[in-house]
């Protein structure tokens, strides 16, 4: 009898770590839009981040580069994020070397540049392609849904709280322009 109890106790002890692991896993919401149902490595440490965590927020997805004439838009993007994040806006940065080879650095170099030069606090993801024959899965869907592909660095896609693409804004559109902030404010005021 003691031998059977020992077996059962041992089996139970072996289950506890497995149960803790399952409880620690982040469940993906079945209500997550297909557009946000992607996982990307975070820029700073390459930890996987599922975009479903931004479901219910207004999302501005931007392809970025450190050595571009538009690089100063990091400052405007950070101001936009700081101003509206408490109301539900999130800016997502996707560094890319697709245009003019203006993002040649490693993920660590890009992260250091963003932090040290512009004190970027909005979420940034590891360098990936956003155009051409093999864009990352999010940008592939953004391109398909809008019919427009990024023409250069700092191309912006605006996504509503339900995960629907609302509009695309070219590189010449500054993050603090009234055309962009007007759309953002409108979307922030809408209920899910």
The set of catalytic residues is: 68
Strand partners of residue 61: 92, 157
Sheet with 58-64, strands from edge to edge, namely: 89-95, 58-64, 156-159, 165-169
Nearest residue to 43 (alpha-carbon basis) of 107, 130, 138, 96? 107
If phi > 0 it is left, if psi is from -120 to 50 it is alpha, else beta; for residue 24 that is alpha
- 140-54-172-127 Cα dihedral, nearest 10 degrees: -60
- Alpha-carbon distances, residue 147 vs 2, 143, 157 (angstroms): 70, 5, 12
Q: Return the beta strands (E) in the chain as ranges.
A: 39-41, 48-50, 58-64, 89-95, 156-159, 165-169
């Amino acid at each position: 009898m003691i031998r059977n109890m020992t077996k059962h106790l041992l089996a139970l002890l072996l289950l506890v770590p497995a149960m803790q692991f399952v409880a620690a896993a982040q469940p993906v919401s079945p209500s997550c839009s297909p557009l946000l149902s992607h996982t990307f490595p975070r820029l700073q440490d390459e930890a996987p981040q599922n975009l479903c965590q931004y479901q219910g927020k207004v999302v501005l997805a931007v392809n970025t580069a450190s050595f571009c004439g538009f690089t100063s838009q990091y400052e405007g993007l950070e101001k936009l994020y700081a101003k509206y994040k408490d109301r539900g806006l999130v800016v997502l940065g996707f560094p890319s070397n697709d245009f003019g080879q203006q993002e040649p650095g490693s993920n660590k170099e890009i992260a250091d540049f963003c932090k040290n030069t512009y004190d970027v606090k909005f979420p940034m993801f590891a360098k990936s392609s956003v155009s051409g024959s093999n864009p990352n899965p999010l940008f592939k869907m953004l391109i398909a849904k809008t019919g427009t592909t990024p023409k250069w660095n700092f191309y912006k896609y605006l996504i509503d709280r339900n995960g629907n693409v609302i509009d695309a804004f070219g590189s010449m559109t500054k993050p603090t322009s009234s055309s962009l902030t007007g759309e953002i404010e409108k979307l922030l005021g809408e209920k899910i």
